[in-house]
Amino acid sequence: MSVHVRLAEPGDDEALVDVDDATWGPWSSPVERPDRATRSSFVDPDDDRTEHLVAVVDDAVVGYVGLRAVGPSPSHDHVLQISGFGVTPSAQGRGVGRALVEAALERARGRGARKVTLAVLGHNAVARRLYERCGFEVEGVLRAEYRLGGADVDDVLMARRLEQG
């Protein structure tokens, strides 16, 4: 299977919502799924702080990763955050997730970042293994940060420092 990763375009929005719908649940997000009709666009030409990369297989969008600036302060410009990630169930376990994360890291380097952070639910072992395989390390754990399905769930903060050059 050949995976092509590129910047998301305005025409990708419907496919991105489909990926989001297929992957949204209490194992991946602590918030309820937004209504499809009121969900904001993934591609906003007026937002220069956030961008999405999409994974394409056989001309179909099968995954995405969001990458955004963390804060407005110039002292924080060297840190970007993975803010949203999904791979359709039919494409999972086939290298799509890794291709997306690696492309996001490369894009972050190109934007001058020296660190990429993310938060992942503690019980999402598949995502945590993927991030660890891509060089992310746990920097902190917010114990019982969420209550999902009647159980306390940790929020795991991970980061990857980027080599420059």
pLDDT (0 to 100) of residue 25: 84
pLDDT in tens, 111-154: 999 999 999 999 999 999 999 999 999 999 999 999 998 999 99
80 in helix, strand or coil? strand
Q: Which domains does the chain show, CATH number per domain?
A: 4-161 (3.40.630.30)
Q: Give which of 161, 108, 109, 123 is closest to 139, Cα–Cα.
A: 161
pLDDT at 165 over 60: no
pLDDT in tens, 56-76: 999 999 999 999 999 888 899
pLDDT in tens, 78-108: 999 999 999 999 999 999 999 999 999 999 9
